[in-house]
Amino acid sequence: MAKQQGQERAFPKNLHPLDSIFRKNLALLASHSLKYHFLFFSFFFWNEFNNFTKNTYSMKLKVIYKITYPNGKIYIGKDLTNTLNYFGSANSLLIENDFSLEQRKDFTIRKEIIWESYTEDLREVNAMEVQLIRQYKSNDPNIGYNMWPKFLK
């Protein structure tokens, strides 16, 4: 049934990121017999899914964050996927030694994003992390919990 002028579409134009790619390749399907449809769909969707997820990951916002603990000490780390509930990999024993059992029962930390980028160059992210650790001196045991790079007085 042909679409009449002024008639509304039954579904949104871009229902899914792969929708436009599917419509572009629909004409190719009509020219093949049914036995090739399954193979085509399998390959097509697998390939497009891999491209979509690869592009989505590479476009993720990379961040460097600063965690501030109740005692004022800080930890600086990076997150390549900008996950909200990621709070780094600071040494737990080092942190626990600074707080009593009673203090640990009601514990609030603050996470601040201090640098962000869509760069795909992980060397740039790593270099910036080291630069910010040194700038904030979070590798000084009196100031923070970063154990690397080694603090030099």
Tell me: the pLDDT tens digits for 25-74? Answer: 655 555 556 555 555 556 656 566 666 555 555 579 999 999 999 999 99
Task: Supply the range of the domain harboring residue 123.
Answer: 62-136
The total of structural domains in the chain comes to 1
Per-residue pLDDT reduced to its tens digit, 80-90: 999 999 999 99
The rounded percent of the chain whose pLDDT value lies above 90 is: 59
92 is a domain residue: yes
Does residue 117 sit in helix, strand or coil?
strand
- How are strands ordered across the β-sheet holding 110-117? 74-79, 62-68, 110-117
110 is a domain residue: yes
pLDDT band at 105 (very low <50, low <70, confident <90, very high): very high
Round to whole Å and give the CA distance between 80 and 103: 31
Q: Can you give the pLDDT at residue 11?
A: 47
Q: At 2, which amino acid appears?
A: A
126 is a domain residue: yes
Q: Can you give the pLDDT at residue 150?
A: 92
146 is a domain residue: no
Residue matched to tokens 């201090």: 114
Residue matched to tokens 């996927």: 81
17 is a domain residue: no
The mean pLDDT value of the chain amounts to 81
Round to whole Å and give the CA distance between 20 and 29: 15
Q: What is the rounded average pLDDT of the residues 118-147?
A: 97
19 is a domain residue: no
Q: Which of 134, 125, 63 is nearest to 143 (CA)?
A: 134
By the 8 A CB rule, do 98 and 69 touch? Answer: yes
74 is a domain residue: yes
152 is a domain residue: no
